């Protein structure tokens, strides 16, 4: 069983990690809130998986859905942009207008709390028994997915956020050993300086503000203890404290090694810089591995990866999941989709394409890549810490406020002290 003590500190309030459910057997809303019994076979699946490995994974899941539930027709409701920010904005507009899709993607975790509080998604806990998920999802994961005795979504995967991706040729040309990751952030900063001194134009690539928040979360994981990091989200760690100040100083230094065109890019562009050799390092979740694999770049030769220095032994946790909205036009079809999402066949097909690992424990590691096998091992043994940038640690409103503060700072609109005070205000400290 993986050690999840840090998350247990914040369990119900911080990690409302939603897993799946539905109402009556075979469909319908768990609280009687399903749609009006439409006979349409269409099932609108609303996601932000519109390109790259994410789209490939969705298409793989769609193929399994078509095989398992041929009486229903998959309708792709994907909306591109900003790691889901554009999709979330449109989704909220639709939910408030009483026009929900049949099911929508969300990050499992505190991100779901707003939907729960607004009564916009069903308690579908009974599907765990109906689909046999209680037997194949780890109990500690199920515990984290439970909010006040209810479960609200099914996770399709598990991702790791605290990963550095590096081009070994760029490192070697600068005299660095790609097989020996730096021990901590200070050592990594020394290596970044070495790359800069060797003429590497972008030692550390980064993109739009959400990727900068992603980098910040890993710096906080590196500089704070596991309990102190979780304390940022449950109120037991002081955002104005010296530990956070030190972490923000590290963040400031890391940002000084990044590309100046960052705000106009998205994560695939920053990853491509490592692939092309114009950047030495990039910090991104392990969906990035698919970009290397799609380019036929082999692990250990064309790229190396390691936990963000200072976070070895910690697993930055996030998971994509699917819900049953209140008022779903086709609750039976949505329930069928949820069954596919939680099925062994669905999770294997989806995660092979996306680079993540299954939430199910009965998947054969041999069916996955070398990197994914290492992630499976890490997930089983490391301390599990909730991702800030990807919905596990905070509700959407808090994340938005943090993103605004980080974006303002990295664009030159505030200083470090102001950033710290704005982060504290965003988190409610």
Phi-psi sector, 206: left (phi>0), alpha (psi -120 to 50), beta: beta
Tens digits of residue pLDDT in 110-167: 989 999 999 999 998 999 999 999 999 987 788 778 888 999 999 999 999 999 999 9
Q: Which of 112-116, 288-292, 305-309 has the highest average model confidence (pLDDT)? A: 305-309
HEC string of the chain equals CCCCHHHHHCHHHHCCCCCCCCCCCCCCCCCCCCCCCCCCCEEEEECCCCCHHHHHHHHHHHHHHHHHCCCCEEEECCCCCHHHHHHHHHHHHHHHCCCCCCEEEEECCHHHHHHHHCCCECCCCHHHHHCCHHHCCCHHHHHHHEECCEECEEECCEEECCEEEECHHHHHHCCCCCCCCCCCHHHHHHHHHHHHHCCCCEEEECCCHHHHHHHHHHHHHHHCCHHHHHHHHHCCCCCCCHHHHHHHHHHHHHHCCCCCCHHHCCHHHHHHHHHHCCEEEEECCHHHHHHHHHCCCCECCCEEEEECCCCCCEEEEECEEEECECCCCCHHHHHHHHHHHHCHHHHHHHHHHHCCECCCCCCCHHHCCHHHHHHHHHHHHCEEEECCCCCCCCCHHHHHHHHHHHHHHHCCCCCHHHHHHHHHHHCCC
pLDDT at 34: 43
At 82, is the pLDDT very low, low, confident or very high (cuts 50, 70, 90)?
low
At 377, is the pLDDT very low, low, confident or very high (cuts 50, 70, 90)?
very high
Query: For a pLDDT cut of 90, what percent of the chain falls above it?
Result: 80
Tens digits of residue pLDDT in 26-43: 333 333 344 444 478 999
Residue 425 has pLDDT above 50, yes or no: yes
Tens digits of residue pLDDT in 63-79: 999 999 999 999 999 99
pLDDT at 190: 98
Separation CA 145–CA 155 (nearest Å): 9
Separation CA 379–CA 248 (nearest Å): 27
More confident: 343 or 4: 343
């Amino acid at each position: 069983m993986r050690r999840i003590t840090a998350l247990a500190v914040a369990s119900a309030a911080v990690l409302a990690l939603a897993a799946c459910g539905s109402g009556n057997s075979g469909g319908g809303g768990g609280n009687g809130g399903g749609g009006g019994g439409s006979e349409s076979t269409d099932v609108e699946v609303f996601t932000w998986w519109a390109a790259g490995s994410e789209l490939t994974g969705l298409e793989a899941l769609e193929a399994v859905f078509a095989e398992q539930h041929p009486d229903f027709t998959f309708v792709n409701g994907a909306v591109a942009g900003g790691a889901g920010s554009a999709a979330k904005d449109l989704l909220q507009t639709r939910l408030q207008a009483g026009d929900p899709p049949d099911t929508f993607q969300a990050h499992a975790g505190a991100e779901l709390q707003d939907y729960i509080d607004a009564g916009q998604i069903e308690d579908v806990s009974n599907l765990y028994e109906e689909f046999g998920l209680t037997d194949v999802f780890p109990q500690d994961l199920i515990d984290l997915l439970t909010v006040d005795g209810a479960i609200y979504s099914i996770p399709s995967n598990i991702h790791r956020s605290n990963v550095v991706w590096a081009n070994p040729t760029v490192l070697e040309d600068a005299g660095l050993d790609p097989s020996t990751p730096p021990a901590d952030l200070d050592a990594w900063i020394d290596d970044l300086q070495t790359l800069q001194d060797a003429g590497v134009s972008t030692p550390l690539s980064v993109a739009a503000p959400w990727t900068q928040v992603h980098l910040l979360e890993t710096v906080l994981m590196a500089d704070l203890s596991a309990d102190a990091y979780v304390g940022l989200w449950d109120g037991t760690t002081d955002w104005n404290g010296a530990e956070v100040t030190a972490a923000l100083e590290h963040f400031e230094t890391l940002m000084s090694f990044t590309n100046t065109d960052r705000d106009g890019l998205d994560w695939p562009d920053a990853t491509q810089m490592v692939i092309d050799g114009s950047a030495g390092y990039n910090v991104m979740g392990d969906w990035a591995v698919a970009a290397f694999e799609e380019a036929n770049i082999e692990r250990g030769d064309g790229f190396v990866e390691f936990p963000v220095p200072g976070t070895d032994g910690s697993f930055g946790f996030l998971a994509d999941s699917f819900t049953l909205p209140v008022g779903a036009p086709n609750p039976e079809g949505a329930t069928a989709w949820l069954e596919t999402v939680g099925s062994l066949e669905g999770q294997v097909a989806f995660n092979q394409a996306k680079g993540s690992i299954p939430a199910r424990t009965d998947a054969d590691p041999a069916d996955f890549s070398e990197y994914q096998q290492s992630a499976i091992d890490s997930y089983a043994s490391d301390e599990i810490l909730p991702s800030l940038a990807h919905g596990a640690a905070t509700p959407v409103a808090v994340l938005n406020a943090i993103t605004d503060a980080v974006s303002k700072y990295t664009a030159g609109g505030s200083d470090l002290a102001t950033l710290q005070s704005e982060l504290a205000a965003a988190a409610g400290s």
